[in-house]
């Protein structure tokens, strides 16, 4: 993130009150009659800043939690209350005493929708627009003693709109007349936000500079000689706030981190310039040359190497006046419409990248945004092996914190501006086709957003709107402002430095493409017709068929997403714990009828009458909520794994990419998600994680051919082989094949052979299929994939009888504790007798890939003090967890030793659909109470083990103060959860 070292964030000590309940002026509040910020009295209350009015009301329990049950219906909507009801005062104090020639600025990175600001009795106005920064120089009105009073009167959007009886996409669409988020009037996946996100919703801060200020530097890298020569270009605006000519030394420094806190200075450059009094100038540094720098790569293609670029300005007679720094990645992103598929094809550093990612709305519907939540959100996407996130046009222009973690974890970002078809030209009633009323305001916000985000390596493209293009004048302005610099029209990293072209850092951007809409120019059918979707349950094999989707890049395809039962209980009262009714129709299909709370939370069913039979009922009628949600997880896993495997089966021959609608919910919704609003993953998360591996072995569910997908640029050597085995539910191996002559070029999907067991006369009604891609030399597993399948025309109901037949398991856990942070390594061994004698890879000794999570596997140490020799050998299978947390010493960590537990099940069998959860240890548990500790990062979950197999699972989590965790294991054929720690 861009950072000012002289910035103080104002994120605490705020109070708020409804404007109609405050009978004082802004001048009085910030001079003679300020409210108390330590012991506020009515109508004042502690406030969330950054945050929204509704977020503050919820935090103070003035209104109920709108995300729980039907509570949102009990909160008055702004359409009924009037805008005054959600017009609020926010008040705080800050201390600052300036030295000579210093200036203090009050900064608001986002206010919705406009505001009056009072500082020590003086008024400043923040103009309209949710997506614009505000910077107020308040030097001349500061208190001489350093104690300053700040009051902000925030007004809601001008056109908050009304919610029609039947809801609808974006309500009555009135919100589209403002430059603001459009989801707030409700959507088919979201209930309305009652205050329309009114508030100081993004960072507020003060910053102190000397006479000269640095404004919005722009960093650009250009590449030559096949990416061996790289030039860094930098331009910045400098403002001289003084009344005299400033003689400046402008410095730029580029450093890279070697290890820990040790940095290497790569370049240091100083330039001298004079800035007239009261003027602003634009300065471009001479280009800085690098030879073979470490490049930034997307997730799955290589490391996310980042350099710290620091710019400082020293003023003669004053010293350092201002400073700025930003993490910057050397990379080049290109795209074009692929002639073979018609889809948009992306390249990073000259290498094609097959896009597998998801659509993103925002982290939280009440804009309770935080670095920690962003970190979890983005890491979850990286853990699913995704490489792109699309920021949908009805949500946010995402924040620098979001982009910072996308830079860190390698997620390319498709960023849309604030246009959506439903709110800008269609729907019921038909919405205003001309976008927001104030086109100049839209463009001001757009340009300011570009300046805020353009230096992030992860930002891949700008898009005008969702399923719509902006009005012609806005669209043309964006095309002109964001047109590619001539250097970035070049399709490779060869050539000579520019001689006749202007410096690319002089552009507003110029380094990444602008596309006018999400279904244009290589996306969907490329012409803006409604050719994205579908958005409901599918038969898994459908995703592999040639006629499932006809265009090269699908920007939105969605499906189901029910969370685990614990989330239902945590977010709904008991009347919401009833799973849907199953109603048989005359057609023979089943229709699901959800209870009113599920319906309000936008439940999408696991059946599509006349198209898809109910996929939960394939496992039998659910007994209760837990059983329904467990069976939903089985379907979630299959559904999303098949979706991505179907797309990669046609990689480059038919498709260039796919984005799933959607990865998460900004509230407690019941559709289209891989993790819920509480940060617990669904099984679909792990179906995606496996399907999107850079190198992956899979079964084509339409042809039953085993395929190997290689999205990397390296050919798989002759040392690789594929093992295929089928097992019955009792653990007997029914079918075994080993294919040792496997050759898979880079960027290819290759069919290996047909899996023929399903054609056998003796095929079991239900069976398991295990695929492994491995190295023949040492049997290390590159990719492992486990399927549960049924005979044609059958279902999975036979699995029901298997639930009381646990396979024997030996579970060894190793725990490392540092304060509130836990790292746990668990080894599971299915000790069932008679593993298949020919199986070469039953130990599951996996290849370690670069960038796998937060665990440094290269530095693991063995240590088994105080345990038996048998347990020492067990521990050596997976070694001991590396005893170092980032930036912390080994001596501060505490290891809790090896723990071994055993489940004495039947002598044979498959351990099916095992999954862990972490809870707070409690003895006074109440029904419906949520004891989970969230979030937890798992290396895998919802997995299965055939007889003889071993698996290492890594967990990482933090616990609240004073809480002891317990880790439990659940499984399909394990009726009771097993505590393993």
DSSP 85: G
Segment 531-535 long-range contacts (CB within 8 Å, at least 24 positions apart):
532/467, 532/556, 532/557, 532/661, 533/557, 533/558, 533/661, 534/558, 535/559, 535/604, 535/661, 535/672
Burial track 46-78 (b if 16+ CB lie within 10 A, e otherwise)? bbbbbbbbbbbbbbeeebbebbbbbebeebebb
259 a catalytic residue:
no
**Whether the Cβ atoms of residue 313 and residue 250 lie closer than 8 Å to each other:** yes
Do 402 and 705 contact (CB within 8 A), yes or no?
A: no
CA distances from 437 to 133, 420, 447, 517 (A): 20, 15, 17, 20
CB 36 within 8 A of CB 44: yes
Distance CA 618, CA 93 (A): 61
Selected catalytic residue, list 185, 467, 874, 949: 467
**698 within 8 A of 650, measured Cβ to Cβ:** no
Residues paired with residue 979 on neighbouring β-strands, in sequence order: 968
Please say whether the dihedral angle defined by the alpha carbons of residues 563, 567, 569 and 572, taken in this order, is positive or negative. negative
**Which spans in 12-73 are helix H?**
26-29, 53-59
CA distance 364 to 72: 15
- The burial of 794, by beta-carbon neighbours within 10 Å (0-12 exposed, 13-18 middle, 19 or more buried), is given as middle
Candidates 556, 592, 693, 949; catalytic one: 556
Phi first, then psi: give them for residue 615, nearest 5 degrees: -85, -20
Residue 403's DSSP bridge partners are none
Q: What's the rounded Cα separation, in Å, for the pair 138 and 128?
A: 20
Whole-angstrom distance, CA of residue 872 vs CA of residue 898: 9
Nearest one of 298, 289, 297, 311 to 218, comparing CA atoms = 311
Q: How many CA atoms lie less than 13 Å away from 343 in the CB half-sphere?
A: 29
Q: Please check whether residue 558 is in contact with residue 581, taking contact to mean a CB–CB distance below 8 angstroms.
A: no
Rounded CA gap, 439 and 442, in Å?
Answer: 5
Cβ(382)–Cβ(299) under 8 Å? yes
Counting beta carbons within 10 angstroms of the beta carbon of residue 613, is it exposed (0 to 12), middle (13 to 18) or buried (19 or more)? middle
By the 8 A CB rule, do 600 and 191 touch?
A: yes
3-state secondary structure of 915: strand
Contact 554, 567 (CB under 8 A): no
Task: Please tell me the distance from the alpha carbon of residue 342 to that of residue 519, in angstroms, as a whole number.
Answer: 12
- 452 Cβ partners below 8 Å, 6+ apart? 109, 133, 397, 400
SS3 89: strand
- Give the angle subtended at the CA of 889 by the CAs of 886 and 891, to the nearest 5°: 140
Q: What is the distance between the alpha carbons of residues 117 and 123, in angstroms, rounded to a whole number?
A: 6
Secondary structure element (H or E) that encloses residue 412, with its range: strand 412-416
Active-site annotation holds for 266: no
**Which residues 6+ apart lie within 8 Å of 791 measured at CB?**
758, 763, 764, 765, 766
Q: Is the peptide bond before 935 cis (omega within 30 degrees of 0)?
A: yes
Active site residues: 467, 556
């Amino acid at each position: 993130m861009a950072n000012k070292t002289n910035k103080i964030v104002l994120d605490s000590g705020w109070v708020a009150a409804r404007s109609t309940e405050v009978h004082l002026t802004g001048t009085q509040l910030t001079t003679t009659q300020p409210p108390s910020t330590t012991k506020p009295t009515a109508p004042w209350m502690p406030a969330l800043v950054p945050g929204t009015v509704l977020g503050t009301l919820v935090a103070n329990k003035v209104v109920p939690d709108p995300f729980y049950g039907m509570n949102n219906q009990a909160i008055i909507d702004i359409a009924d209350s009037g805008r005054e009801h959600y017009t609020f005062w926010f008040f705080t104090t800050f201390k600052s005493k300036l030295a000579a020639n210093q200036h203090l600025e009050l900064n608001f990175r986002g206010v919705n929708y406009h505001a009056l600001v009072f500082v020590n009795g003086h008024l400043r106005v923040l103009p309209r627009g949710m997506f614009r920064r505000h910077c107020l120089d308040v030097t001349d009105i500061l208190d001489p003693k350093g104690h300053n009073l700040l009051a902000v009167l925030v007004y809601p959007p001008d056109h908050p709109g009304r919610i029609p009886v039947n809801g609808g996409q974006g309500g009555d669409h009135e919100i589209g007349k403002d430059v603001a988020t459009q989801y707030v009037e409700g959507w088919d996946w979201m209930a309305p936000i009652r205050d329309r996100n009114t508030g100081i919703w993004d960072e507020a801060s003060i910053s102190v500079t000397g006479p000269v200020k640095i404004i919005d530097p722009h960093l650009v890298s250009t590449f030559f000689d096949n990416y061996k020569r790289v030039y860094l270009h930098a331009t910045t605006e400098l403002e001289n706030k003084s009344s005299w000519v400033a003689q400046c030394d402008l410095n730029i420094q580029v450093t890279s981190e070697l290890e820990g806190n040790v940095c290497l200075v790569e370049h240091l450059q100083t330039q001298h310039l004079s800035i007239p009094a009261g003027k602003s100038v634009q300065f471009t540094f001479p280009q800085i040359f690098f030879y073979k720098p470490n490049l930034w790569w997307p997730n799955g293609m290589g490391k996310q190497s980042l350099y710290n670029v620091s710019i400082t300005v020293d003023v003669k007679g004053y010293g350092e006046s201002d400073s700025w720094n930003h993490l910057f990645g050397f990379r080049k992103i290109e795209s074009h419409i692929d002639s073979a598929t018609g889809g948009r094809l992306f390249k990073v550093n000259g290498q094609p990248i097959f896009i597998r990612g998801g659509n993103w709305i925002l982290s939280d519907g009440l804009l309770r945004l935080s670095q920690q939540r962003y970190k979890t959100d983005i890491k979850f996407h990286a853990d699913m092996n995704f490489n792109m996130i699309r920021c949908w046009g009805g949500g946010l222009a995402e924040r620098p914190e979001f982009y910072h973690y996308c830079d860190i974890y390698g997620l390319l970002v498709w960023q849309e501006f604030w246009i959506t078809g439903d709110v800008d030209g269609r729907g019921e009633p038909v919405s205003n086709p001309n976008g927001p009323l104030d086109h100049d305001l839209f463009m001001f916000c757009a340009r300011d957003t570009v300046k805020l985000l353009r230096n992030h390596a992860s930002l891949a493209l700008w898009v005008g709107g969702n399923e719509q293009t902006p009005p012609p004048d806005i669209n043309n302005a964006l095309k002109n402002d964001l047109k590619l610099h001539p250097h970035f029209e070049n399709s490779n990293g060869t050539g000579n430095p520019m001689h006749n072209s202007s410096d690319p850092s002089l552009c507003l951007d110029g380094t990444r493409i602008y596309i006018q809409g999400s279904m244009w120019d290589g996306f969907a059918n490329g012409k803006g017709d409604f050719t994205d979707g579908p958005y409901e349950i599918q038969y898994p094999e459908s995703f592999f068929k040639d006629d499932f989707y006809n265009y090269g890049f699908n920007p939105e395809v969605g499906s189901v997403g029910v969370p685990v039962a614990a989330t239902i209980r945590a977010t709904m009262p008991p009347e919401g714990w009833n799973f849907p009714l199953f109603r048989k129709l005359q057609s023979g299909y089943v229709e699901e009828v959800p209870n009113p709370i599920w319906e309000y939370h936008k439940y999408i069913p696991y059946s599509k009458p006349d198209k898809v039979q109910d996929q939960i009922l394939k496992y039998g009628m659910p007994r209760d909520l837990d059983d329904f949600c467990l069976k939903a997880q089985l379907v979630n896993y299959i559904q999303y794994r098949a979706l991505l495997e179907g797309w990669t089966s046609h990689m480059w021959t038919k498709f260039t990419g796919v984005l799933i609608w959607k990865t998460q919910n900004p509230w407690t919704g019941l559709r289209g998600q891989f993790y819920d609003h509480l940060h617990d993953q669904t099984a679909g998360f792990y179906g995606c994680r496996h399907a999107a591996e850079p190198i992956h072995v899979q079964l084509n569910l339409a042809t039953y051919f085993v395929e190997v997908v290689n999205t990397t640029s390296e050919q798989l050597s002759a040392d690789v082989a594929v093992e295929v085995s089928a097992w019955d539910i009792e653990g007997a191996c029914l079918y075994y094949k080993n294919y040792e002559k496997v050759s898979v070029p880079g960027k290819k999907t290759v069919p290996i052979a047909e899996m023929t067991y399903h054609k056998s006369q003796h095929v079991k009604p239900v069976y398991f299929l295990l695929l492994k891609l491995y190295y023949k030399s040492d049997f290390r597993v590159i990719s492992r994939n486990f399927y549960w399948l049924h005979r044609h025309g059958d279902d999975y109901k036979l699995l029901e009888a298997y639930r009381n037949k646990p396979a024997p398991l030996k579970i060894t856990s190793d725990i490392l504790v540092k304060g509130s942070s836990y790292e746990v390594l668990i080894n599971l061994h299915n000790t069932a007798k008679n593993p298949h004698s020919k199986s070469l890879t039953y130990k599951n000794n996996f290849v370690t890939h670069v960038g796998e999570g937060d665990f440094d596997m290269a530095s693991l140490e063995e240590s088994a003090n105080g345990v038996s020799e048998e347990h020492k050998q067990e521990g050596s299978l997976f070694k001991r967890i590396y005893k170092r947390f980032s930036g912390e010493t080994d001596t501060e960590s505490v290891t809790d030793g090896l723990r071994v537990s055993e489940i004495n099940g039947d002598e044979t069998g498959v351990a099916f659909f095992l999954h862990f959860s972490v809870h707070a240890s409690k003895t006074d548990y109440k029904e419906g109470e949520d004891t989970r500790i969230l979030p937890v990062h798992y290396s895998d979950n919802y997995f299965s083990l055939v007889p003889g197999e071993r698996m290492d699972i890594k967990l990482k989590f933090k616990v609240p103060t004073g809480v002891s965790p317990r880790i439990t294991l659940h499984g399909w054929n394990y009726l009771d959860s097993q505590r393993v720690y």
